[in-house]
A and B are shown apart, each in its own frame.
Chain A
Amino acid sequence: MAAGRNDIRTYRGFGTVTYLCLFILYAPLIVVAVYSFNASRSITIWEGVSLAWYRDVFTGPESAKFKQAAINSFSIAAIAATLSTMIALSAATALVRGGRFGLRTLSFGLISLPLMVPEIVTAVATLIFFSAIGFTRGYLTILAAHIAFCIPFAYMPISARMQGIEESYEQAAMDLYATRGQAFRRVLLPMMMPGIVSGFLLAFIISLDDFIITNFVKGAGVETLPTAIFGAVKQGIRPNIMAISTMLLAVSILMVTISYFVSKSDDAR
């Protein structure tokens, strides 16, 4: 693309801000990564390079717990983000493309409700509610709670995107004898993709990071990564936790890098 100075699309300084933004996001993680190789237990004092904490993650007495917690966390985040994105997409279609109707404001209020209630209140109230109706706490109660509070995070980008797409595209498709379903799948959905991906990713990280609600609704014996590592962090981050975080980070960056090169070779073909 032409990124000339007079290109209407380029604003001077926006690139700099972006790199600043990346720096802000990643700087604390660089600290974590560096100190995960620290021989000492401390985050403030450097005592030489060591891989001891990485060994500890795989062979330490808690390795089984962390592995299970990671499986739980990622499966819950994946399922919760997928379902809440689907629910949010469906709700956004109704609220953005469904005309004016009485329950619209109310529905929007309901969707934003999980944002407005402080987590500890949701946590205690949900626990009271679940035990009142006789739910046994466990994997499924965590999943249910996560699906619910991920919905607004998925909804906002999806709805913002849909508002930017003129309805005339679908109308045109339907004028050309596409059914409403076809118009949705073939016309609206592809245009919606950036919004859907954004919504999914936000829901995913919200679920992956949740501690307060999860800790109340999880019940005994089911751990997610935040609940498994929370104590270790409260006592001053233990280096094995930094090692786990660093590996998470490395794996995800590796995935992105691979996808970058795959897409590049697709282009080359």
Chain B
Amino acid sequence: MKNWITTTATALAIALGASVASAEEELVVYHWFEYIPQELLDKFTAETGIKVTMDTYDSNEAMLASLKAGGMGTYDVAVPGDYMVKIMTNEGMLDTIAEGELKNKGNIMEQWLDVPFDPGRKHSIPYQWGSTSFMVNRDVYKGDINTLAILFDPPAELSGKINMLDSQGEVMLLASLYLGIPQCSTDRAQLKALNDMLLKAKQHWASFNSDTAKEVLVSGDVAVGMIWNGFGAKAREEGANVEYAYPREGFNVWMDNVVLLKDAPHRANALKFMDFLLEPENMAAVTNYARYAAGVKGVEPYLDPVLATMPEQNPPEGAKGVFIEVCDEAVQKVYDQIWTNVKK
């Protein structure tokens, strides 16, 4: 009983103490689960004396919902994906980084400097980028896997053994690529075709699951699994005979970015944190941890050598990676309707 009281008292002290401690230098980061090594945060604190507080989310949309429901003004930086940077910009949720405020801005790779979702990098810096495609168990299927037909019109031996990511944006993109129609198409015939194709394809799918996307491949529960490349690499490293496909119709490329939030309570520290991440050595630490790719020059010497030859990390020449486009409201409404039709 006494212990219990002590614990309670400690907990209350911590709760009350939290508001007192804010006097020291601080930074509040809103980040994905399991996406930055604790060691790196400790290093930042050791170098700058800024204490990092981190809060986590599990989807771009969950982060948006939480910020919209009243989270603005409590966080300094967040790490949205490409299309979400655009959405947040449209919503006016991002602060502008003036020219010269980031001394390491020059470290950003040329190709990631002028990106469609943030031209000129006014609000964000690159964090990690990767791709979304699918993996096929080579014990089950030995044919050509570099086509999206594996997901949407699979050969008989793969039918009923497919796991899809439970993510509307990525499934819709791959489906559009498969049909050869533009993203966010406003053409009714094309949208109708998209709807019908997905309804038909669903019969071949075993499940929608993002959380155990890796497990089901490793265990052999499914023979085909839609997956992110870094996550897929882990599935292969755990011993499954799976191969990451680069479909010729195209596949999804995405990039997560560190953004400066409007009303950031510690704006100066946020900029220091961004500069810190733009140091090649530090960004390489993230890459080694997350198994995706950095958007910063000069990381190579610090990278885990395995990454250089990893098939999931090195698409073949000419592979066509495509960013998810942000659809307007009318098209998004049809997309939502299609998604509901698929999952009803």
Q: Do chains A and B touch in the complex (CB under 8 A)?
A: yes
> Which residues from chain A sit less than 8 Å from chain B, CB to CB?
40-45, 61-62, 65, 68, 71-72, 74-76, 78-79, 124, 127-128, 130-132, 136-140, 143, 215-216, 218-222, 227, 230-236
Q: Is B75 an interface residue (CB 8 A)?
A: yes
Could you say which of B48-56, B137-145, B150-158 contacts chain A? Answer: B48-56
CA distance A211 to B127 in the complex (A): 27
CA distance A218 to B38 in the complex (A): 20
- Known contacts A78-B8, A236-B215: A231-B33 contact under CB 8 Å: yes
The listed residue (A76, A78, A124, A222) touching B69 by CB distance below 8 A is A124
**Chain B contacts for A71, CB-based, 8 A:** 7, 10-11, 14
Further contacts, 11 of them, CB under 8 A, given A221-B28, A221-B54, A231-B34: A61-B37, A61-B42, A75-B12, A79-B8, A127-B69, A132-B70, A139-B18, A216-B69, A220-B75, A230-B33, A230-B58
Shortest distance between the CB of A221 and any CB in chain B (Å): 4
Shortest distance between the CB of B111 and any CB in chain A (Å): 28
CA distance A234 to B33 in the complex (A): 8
**Chain B contacts for A235, CB-based, 8 A:** 33-34, 214, 231
Chain B residues touching A, majority SS: helix
Shortest distance between the CB of A134 and any CB in chain B (Å): 10
**Chain A contacts for B219, CB-based, 8 A:** 44
Shortest distance between the CB of A51 and any CB in chain B (Å): 20
Give how many A-B residue pairs fall within 8 Å (CB-CB).
Answer: 110
B238 and A41 form a contact (CB under 8 A):
yes
CA distance A5 to B218 in the complex (A): 50
Q: Across the two chains, which residue of chain A brings its CB closest to B290?
A: A235
What 0/1 pattern do residues 1 to 37 of B give for CB contact below 8 A with A? 0001001101110110011000000001110111001
- Known contacts A127-B70, A235-B231: A140-B239 contact under CB 8 Å: no
A62, A75, A128, A136 — most chain B CB neighbours (10 Å): A75
CA distance A75 to B11 in the complex (A): 7
B19 and A61 form a contact (CB under 8 A):
no
**Chain A contacts for B56, CB-based, 8 A:** 227, 230-231
B66 and A127 form a contact (CB under 8 A):
yes
Q: Is B211 an interface residue (CB 8 A)?
A: yes
Total interface residues in chain B, CB < 8 Å: 44
A140 and B69 form a contact (CB under 8 A):
no
Q: Is B39 an interface residue (CB 8 A)?
A: yes
B11, B29, B37, B75 — most chain A CB neighbours (10 Å): B11
- Known contacts A220-B53, A231-B56, A234-B211: A75-B70 contact under CB 8 Å: no
**Chain A contacts for B10, CB-based, 8 A:** 71, 75
CA distance A227 to B34 in the complex (A): 11
A232 and B30 form a contact (CB under 8 A):
no
- Known contacts A45-B238, A236-B212: A219-B55 contact under CB 8 Å: yes
CA distance A221 to B75 in the complex (A): 11
**27 A-B pairs, CB-CB below 8 angstroms?**
A42-B218, A43-B215, A44-B215, A75-B10, A75-B11, A78-B4, A79-B8, A79-B11, A124-B65, A131-B69, A131-B71, A132-B70, A138-B15, A138-B19, A139-B18, A140-B15, A220-B55, A220-B75, A221-B53, A227-B56, A230-B33, A230-B56, A231-B34, A234-B58, A234-B211, A235-B33, A236-B212
Q: Across the two chains, which residue of chain A brings its CB closest to B30?
A: A220
CA distance A12 to B238 in the complex (A): 47
The listed residue (B8, B19, B32, B75) touching A75 by CB distance below 8 A is B8
Shortest distance between the CB of A232 and any CB in chain B (Å): 6
Counting from the closest, the 7 A-B pairs by CB-CB distance are: A231-B33, A131-B70, A139-B15, A75-B11, A221-B53, A220-B55, A61-B38
Q: Is B288 an interface residue (CB 8 A)?
A: no
**Chain B contacts for A230, CB-based, 8 A:** 33, 56, 58
B38 and A62 form a contact (CB under 8 A):
yes
**Chain B contacts for A44, CB-based, 8 A:** 215, 218-219, 238
Q: Is B74 an interface residue (CB 8 A)?
A: yes
**Chain A contacts for B39, CB-based, 8 A:** 61
Q: Across the two chains, which residue of chain A brings its CB closest to B218?
A: A44
Beta-carbon contacts under 8 Å, B53-77 to A: 53-58, 65-66, 69-71, 74-75
B66 and A216 form a contact (CB under 8 A):
yes
**Chain A contacts for B212, CB-based, 8 A:** 236
B11 and A72 form a contact (CB under 8 A):
yes
**Chain B contacts for A138, CB-based, 8 A:** 15, 18-19
CA distance A16 to B54 in the complex (A): 48
CA distance A43 to B216 in the complex (A): 11
Shortest distance between the CB of A120 and any CB in chain B (Å): 9
